[in-house]
Chain A
Amino acid sequence: MKIKVGSIMTVSLIALALMGLVGCSSSDSAAAPVAPAAAAPAQASSSSSYVPAAPAQPAAPAAAAAAPSAEVEATKKVSAKPKQTVAKTVTEFEGGTRGGVMKINTQKWFQRWDMTTRSHWSSTQGLNRHYSGVLQFSPRDGLTVTPDLAKSWTLADDLTGSTFVFNEGVKWHDGEDFSVDDVIYTINRWQNPPVGVAQPRVAGLLLVDSMLKVGDNTLQIAHTKPTSRILPAMADSWHIILPQHILEPAGGVLSTGEQVIGTGPFKVESFSEGNNVVSVANPYYFHNAPDGSPFPYLDGITGIAFANNDLSAAALVTGQIDYYTSLTPSKSFPIKEKRPSIVITRWDSPGFQGISMNTTKAPFDDLELRKAFACGLNTHAIAELSSTPGVVPMEFRQISFFGTADPNYENVASLKCVDPAQREANEAEAKAVFKAKGITEVEFDTDTLDDPIGTIVQQQMKALGVDVKIVISEVTSAREKAYAGDTTLFFFGQAVASKSPVEIINQIYRPGAGFELYQATPPAKWSELLDQLDMATLGSEEEKALTAQMDTIMWEEWMPKVPIRRPDEFQVKQDYVRNIDAIATAKFIQSRFVDAWMDK
């Protein structure tokens, strides 16, 4: 077929003209990022306070080679100059080996260099080691609030404000001085992000009403309401402090690996986008080990992302990675057979899995049916069966709705719906309800191929006289379907609360922090208790009593009414394959590998 040049040119010109016309009549789609507004300062009176212990004296070389303490100590000596003592050679000691480079699996690539814009934990695992927070949770227990950039803090008597005193002489990885202005800039950015920059984990930082810099190294914060929860908010592993001098010129947008400049124990040396980040020990790092030896112990960490689990498992078998989190038992045990030096650690995590019932449409708009489903399912069995046969069964502990605070199992264990002794009665009752209501089939939406939970639910429901049809969709479509209210049963997947329950509260319950997903309005009494919890001392008996009351309300008043219910949350345990310190492994996920070392 012959085509005339003239006609082609005419078509092209018309098309170009059309494009030009449309271009002239429309606005720019990508608005320029906006710098966050400066916050108004406020005063905070003081009383309840934390003052660090005196820093340990540097130990003699022989003593320095002893195993690191199990607790991250308070403020350590700060040096303005790069340390010369950071391990550059491998040193063996009683507990393992210091120095060297550890290669870790950071799951999938974290997609964005700005870890504050993601809620997926691959971001913290990929990037957290480069940063510090105002405070941090102890990498050992995940609960105790310990110093980080701030060396001490004070809470006002009436909890309306707090004061943080920062370490002096802290430097960014590029050698610039850290200042309190960076903290103010970062918190402002969290609260007022540039256009298009999501901050899904802002959570507890919304408790900051205003900030005032006092002198060179003190920050006073006024709270939006009386609360002590500002401390866990500041220690939240997502709430890293970012460099103002890097971000401000870029309009607040962190979009390249070169901009990953922190004050953390490791600094980015090189990266291959989509595959790996090579980090080396930060010679400016301001924390020392309790024995005075410099942190971090390792010379470097190389984080490698894998597009799929088969490949990362193969990398573990062949020794190309040293540390792997979240490997399922079915994959980890065969690997150990091939590579006996691997140590598998099981970790008791306050994580939970959830199946939502759509209560805005039939059949689960019927309260009786919701109860039948919630109590008819044997969640204990689900927890055990979702583990692989041959592996020691997981210790099961039912946790409360939303997993407010996992130690509250005892408070709900005796509830009829949960109590294992009532199981047979619960199942018989549920079966009778399904039969009476004529429910013979329901759909179960999931985004996971061969979803074991779906299969188990299918088997259990079959025994209750109901056929479960499993519908598998691609992840985003499945979620969109659930958000649109088009699902009947939907497997929300697993949320591993690898950090403290206190953090979970901050993430889930704060305005804009996410719990609205479940379209659940708490009873007024529960909200009152949350306010009281804000003012309770962390870890106190008062706190425990309040959370227990909240759990009771959740189970007895709130849960039966919420539109989308997650009736079968249960505790699971994560399985780890690693060859580093067993005690710390569980918490390294969210921590900065500051005191990680290699096994001999």
Chain B
Amino acid sequence: MHQYILRRLLLLPPTLFFLGTILFFMVQAIPGDVASTLLAGEENAVDPKTMQKFREELGLTDPMIVQYGRWLAQTATGDLGYSYYFSKPVWDQIKPKIETTLTLAIFGIIIAVVLSLPAGVFSALYRGSLFDQIVRTISAAGMAVPAFWLGIIILLILSRKIGWMPPVIHSSIFDNPVDAFYRYLFPSLILGFRSAAVISRMVRSMMLEVLSEDYVRTAWAKGLQPRAVIVGHALRNALLPVVTMFGMLVATLIDGAVVLETVFNLPGIGLLMVDSVIARDASMVLGLVLSIGIFMMIWILLIDLSYKVLDPRVEYD
């Protein structure tokens, strides 16, 4: 197992290298650059000579391969670069945003798990019942409704019909837990609900499959308590593919955070990504994607390692 972890960790640098390289050239292909945004992209305009001089200062007129080499060399040392748009090192801009996105994602995951597991399990246990049909309908709706639309509708209903909305002043969950709870409540619910829609269907189908297995029938025949059969035998075995799916859903959660942070004004990674792309801040976009890439690879590794906990028969080769 140690060897497996080592191997996976050693795969990180080449994967990031290829990810970064592809991204670098993709970002360069987008029209516009940070110099254009800084000098002319907002409410101003500038003469072409000034723009050219500024681009030269920032090294944006160098051949692309030179820019790529510079970026690669810098990234290899663990330095994500400097954002001229935000006037600070890329990591200094990313760091304070992590807490917001992580809080949103964790709340979303908790809500997704709390909603999806019981819904999926009971839906399978009472297959064809009214409960099952309701769960299936809601989960289909959850997958179909866009997060931004749901977010705006919730805001409009809260503010216009009820005359209340979550606090607009952002506060950390550690500094002001009550305000933070309300701020994160609705985006987390939307995020969790959408993920739960997918997971509950997966749990349901896996449970249906496992419940028809011989060992579950044997467990019933042995006279075990229903809880022991369902949780200890059926659910535990049904969870393996669900966990894989769950791991992948974290990527969806980050994706959803981009939208929901914009709708609910949460200053996190998602909002930063949107601003950086609009500003054509290549350093920041690359820094963000690489950071997310590293996080996702470590996350997927953790998910893979969790298989052993769920099923002791799993061997890592």
List A residues at the B interface (Cβ < 8 Å): 2-3, 5, 8-9, 11-12, 15-16, 18-20, 22-31, 109, 111-114, 117-121, 195-198, 200-201, 253-256, 272-276, 302, 304-308, 310-311, 313-315, 317-318, 320-321, 334, 338, 474-477, 479-481, 483-484, 495, 507, 511-512, 514-518
Write the nearest CB–CB distance from B80 to chain A, whole angstroms: 11
Chain A residues lying within 8 Å of B32, measured Cβ to Cβ, are 476-477, 479-480
Q: Is B237 an interface residue (CB 8 A)?
A: no
A-B contacts counted at CB < 8 A amount to 221
Question: Is there contact, CB below 8 Å, between A12 and B14?
Answer: yes
Question: Is there contact, CB below 8 Å, between B265 and A476?
Answer: no
Q: Is B156 an interface residue (CB 8 A)?
A: yes
Chain B residues lying within 8 Å of A475, measured Cβ to Cβ, are 41, 278
Question: Is there contact, CB below 8 Å, between B164 and A274?
Answer: no
| Chain B residue nearest to A304 in the complex (CB) | B168
Q: Say whether, besides A317-B163, A476-B279, A479-B32, A200 and B88 are in contact (CB < 8 Å).
A: no
23 pairs of residues in contact across A and B, judged by CB atoms under 8 Å: A8-B10, A12-B11, A12-B13, A22-B69, A23-B76, A24-B73, A30-B81, A109-B267, A112-B87, A117-B38, A196-B57, A200-B44, A254-B87, A274-B268, A275-B170, A306-B265, A307-B262, A307-B271, A310-B155, A477-B30, A512-B50, A515-B45, A516-B48
Write the nearest CB–CB distance from B225 to chain A, whole angstroms: 41
Q: 1/0 per residue B77-120: CB within 8 Å of A?
A: 10001101111100010001100000000000000000000000
The complex places the Cα of A11 from the Cα of B17 at a distance, in Å, of: 11
Write the nearest CB–CB distance from A355 to chain B, whole angstroms: 15
Q: Is B167 an interface residue (CB 8 A)?
A: yes
| Chain B residue nearest to A118 in the complex (CB) | B42
Chain B 268-299 interface residues, beta-carbon cutoff 8 Å to A: 268, 271-272, 275, 278-280
| Chain A residue nearest to B75 in the complex (CB) | A19
Chain A CB within 10 Å, residue with most, of B156, B168, B268: B168
Q: Is B214 an interface residue (CB 8 A)?
A: no
Question: Is there contact, CB below 8 Å, between A275 and B169?
Answer: yes
Chain B 223-282 interface residues, beta-carbon cutoff 8 Å to A: 261-265, 267-268, 271-272, 275, 278-280
Chain A residues lying within 8 Å of B317, measured Cβ to Cβ, are 2
- 14 further A-B pairs in the complex, CB-CB below 8 A; given A9-B10, A275-B169, A317-B159: A5-B6, A15-B17, A29-B82, A119-B42, A196-B57, A273-B267, A307-B262, A311-B155, A314-B155, A314-B156, A314-B159, A314-B165, A476-B37, A477-B31
Question: Is there contact, CB below 8 Å, between B43 and A26?
Answer: no
The complex places the Cα of A3 from the Cα of B11 at a distance, in Å, of: 10
The complex places the Cα of A481 from the Cα of B47 at a distance, in Å, of: 16
Question: Is there contact, CB below 8 Å, between B171 and A272?
Answer: yes
Question: Is there contact, CB below 8 Å, between B169 and A23?
Answer: no
The complex places the Cα of A20 from the Cα of B85 at a distance, in Å, of: 27
Specify which of A9, A308, A476, A495 is in contact with B262 (CB 8 Å cutoff): A308
Write the nearest CB–CB distance from B232 to chain A, whole angstroms: 32
Chain B 27-63 interface residues, beta-carbon cutoff 8 Å to A: 30-32, 35-48, 50, 54, 57-59
Q: Is B74 an interface residue (CB 8 A)?
A: yes
| Chain A residue nearest to B37 in the complex (CB) | A476
Chain B residues lying within 8 Å of A120, measured Cβ to Cβ, are 42-43
Q: Say whether, besides A19-B76, A275-B267, A320-B167, A196 and B280 are in contact (CB < 8 Å).
A: no
Write the nearest CB–CB distance from B28 to chain A, whole angstroms: 13
Chain B residues lying within 8 Å of A308, measured Cβ to Cβ, are 262-263, 265
Write the nearest CB–CB distance from A277 to chain B, whole angstroms: 10
Chain B residues lying within 8 Å of A15, measured Cβ to Cβ, are 13-14, 17
Q: Say whether, besides A19-B73, A197-B87, A198-B39, A310 and B152 are in contact (CB < 8 Å).
A: yes
The complex places the Cα of A474 from the Cα of B32 at a distance, in Å, of: 12
Write the nearest CB–CB distance from A218 to chain B, whole angstroms: 33
Question: Is there contact, CB below 8 Å, between A517 and B163?
Answer: no
Question: Is there contact, CB below 8 Å, between B31 and A8?
Answer: no
Chain A residues lying within 8 Å of B36, measured Cβ to Cβ, are 476, 479-480, 483
The complex places the Cα of A273 from the Cα of B97 at a distance, in Å, of: 9
Q: Which 3 A-B pairs have the closest CB atoms?
A: A274-B267, A517-B45, A23-B73
Chain A residues lying within 8 Å of B77, measured Cβ to Cβ, are 23
The complex places the Cα of A306 from the Cα of B167 at a distance, in Å, of: 12
Q: Is B143 an interface residue (CB 8 A)?
A: no
| Chain B residue nearest to A514 in the complex (CB) | B45
The complex places the Cα of A109 from the Cα of B93 at a distance, in Å, of: 14
Chain A CB within 10 Å, residue with most, of B43, B46, B160: B43
Question: Is there contact, CB below 8 Å, between A514 and B46?
Answer: yes
Q: Say whether, besides A29-B71, A476-B278, A11 and B14 are in contact (CB < 8 Å).
A: yes
The complex places the Cα of A314 from the Cα of B42 at a distance, in Å, of: 26
Chain A residues lying within 8 Å of B86, measured Cβ to Cβ, are 111-112, 255
Chain B residues lying within 8 Å of A28, measured Cβ to Cβ, are 70, 74
Question: Is there contact, CB below 8 Å, between B81 and A29?
Answer: yes
Question: Is there contact, CB below 8 Å, between A476 and B88?
Answer: no
Q: Is B302 an interface residue (CB 8 A)?
A: no
Chain B residues lying within 8 Å of A483, measured Cβ to Cβ, are 36, 40
Chain B residues lying within 8 Å of A119, measured Cβ to Cβ, are 42-44
Chain A residues lying within 8 Å of B54, measured Cβ to Cβ, are 198
Chain A residues lying within 8 Å of B17, measured Cβ to Cβ, are 15, 18-19
The complex places the Cα of A5 from the Cα of B11 at a distance, in Å, of: 10
Specify which of A8, A476, A481, A516 is in contact with B7 (CB 8 Å cutoff): A8
